[in-house]
Amino acid sequence: MQDKKARFDLSAKEGLSLLGETPLVAETPEELLDDETTPIARFFVRNNGLLPQPVDDAESWTFTIDGEVERRLDLTVAQLKCRFPQKTFRMVLECGGNGRSFFEPEAEGNPWTHGGVGCAEWTGVSLGDVLREAGLKETALFTGHFGADPDKHGSHERQAMSRGVPIAKALEEHTLLVWAMNGEPLPFIHGGPLRLVVPGWPGSLSQKWLTRIWIRDREHDGPGMTGLSYRLPIRPLPPAYRLPIRPLPPGSNGQGIETRILESMPVRSIVTAPADGRRYPEGTRSIEVRGAAWAGDDDVARVDVTVNGGATWTEAATTLPRNRYDWVRWHASLTLPGNGYYEIVARATDSQGRAQPFRAANWNPNGYGCNVMHRVAVTVGPEV
C-alpha cells in the first residue's frame, strides 16, 4: 500500500477536478488557465503509479545516465547546478490523453476534457549537455526513462511508466532536467526533486522523480511504449498529416493494426475567458474573448473564433511566445446580433496548415491525440 507520508493533499491545488485517486489524476478547468504562466496551484496532476517517498535533501538526489555512452554518469542535483549551464524556458506540458472524453464511442483511460495541460517556467539544464559529457556512442538511438515511483499496486519491481525518445529529441536544447518550477523548488507532486521535461510531446515522456536515463541501441520497450500504450494506428498518408485520419472504425479494438509512438502533440486552443455558462446583461452586443494555443513541435499560425457554428470566423490577435514551446495567448472582440444563447468556438491552425476539427477524427482505443475545438456557452439577456 501507499505510505501515508507519500500521500498528497489535493487541497493544495486551486479548483482542479479530480479524475482518479489511484493513481492521482486531476485536471484544470479552462477558465483557471487564464494566466500567461500557469501557477503551480493550478497546474494539472498526472501520475501513472503511486507516489514515491519524499526526500529531505533535494540537492543530494542522484540520477544515472548509462547504456550506450562512453562514461556512466551518477550526478546529484547539486552537481547538475554547478557543472552545466542553467536555463529557464516557459513551456507547455500536456497529457497525451488530453481531450479523451470527446471521442465517440468512449475510449479507455482518464476522461480528460481540455484541462490536462499547463504552461510553466521550468529551470534546469539541457539533457543534451549532460549526454555530451557522457559521450554518446554511435549505437545510441533512443532513451529510456526511469523514476522512483512504484506502480499502482505499490511494487517497485516494475516501473509505473518508463518511456523514451529518439536521441535527436533528447539532444534538443529545450529538453531539460528540471529542479525548479515557476522560480520555486520543483514541488514533490510535480516530480521534485528532479524530473525530465520533454516539451511538445506527451507529458508521459517527462519522467517525474527521475532516477535513470538508459541510452539504448533500439526503441525503448518499457511500460508505456508497447501494445496500444501511447501509440496511434497508422496508414500511408501524405507527409503533411501528423495524426492519421480514421484508420480505425470508431469503437474497434485496434488488434492487428500497425501503430507508431505518439510523438509531437497536435495543434490545440482553449478559451480561458469567458467561462462556460457566463450570462451577460441584456443588450450586450460585444464581448471580449481570450485563450491560449499551442502546437507540439510546430508553431501556432493563427487562431480563429466563431459564435455562429463556423458560418463566419473572426481572426484573433496573438502574442509572440517567449521561447519555443511556450503557448500563444490570443484575444478577440466578438459582435453579437442580439440577446440569446451562443457557443464560442476556438480553432487553432499550426504552421503546417493543420487546423483543429469540430469532431475528433482520429479515434483510437486508448484515446490519444484528440484536439477537438473547445466550445464555451454564453447567454445574453435574462433567464427564460
pLDDT tens per residue, range 316-367: 999 999 999 999 999 999 999 999 999 999 999 999 999 999 999 888 999 9
Q: What is the mean pLDDT of residues 208-212?
A: 98
Kindly state the average pLDDT of the residues 138-157.
94
The mean per-residue pLDDT over the stretch 10-15 comes to 88
**228 against 328, higher pLDDT:** 328
Mean of all residue pLDDT scores within the chain: 93
pLDDT of 39 reads 98
> What is the end-to-end Cα distance of the chain in Å, rounded?
53
Q: How many Cβ atoms are within 10 Å of 210's Cβ, its own excluded?
A: 23
Confidence band for 243, pLDDT divided at 50, 70 and 90:
low
pLDDT at 235: 61
Domains and CATH numbers, the chain: 4-233 (3.90.420.10), 268-380 (2.60.40.650)
How do residues 42-87 score in pLDDT, each as one tens digit?
Answer: 999 999 999 999 999 999 999 999 999 999 999 999 999 999 999 9
Task: Tell me: pLDDT of 166 over 80.
Answer: yes
Could you tell me which residue, 157 or 166, shows the higher pLDDT? 166
For 201, the grid coordinates are 510531446
**More confident: 362 or 205:** 205
Residue 51 pLDDT: 95
If you search the block for the grid coordinates 519522467, which residue do you land on? 207
Tell whether the model's pLDDT for residue 121 goes beyond 90: yes
Q: Please give the Cα distance from 281 to 200 (Å, whole number).
A: 40
In which order are the strands placed within the sheet that holds 314-315? 278-280, 374-380, 340-350, 300-306, 314-315
Backbone phi, psi, residue 133, to 5°: -70, -35
The confidence score (pLDDT) of residue 249 equals 82
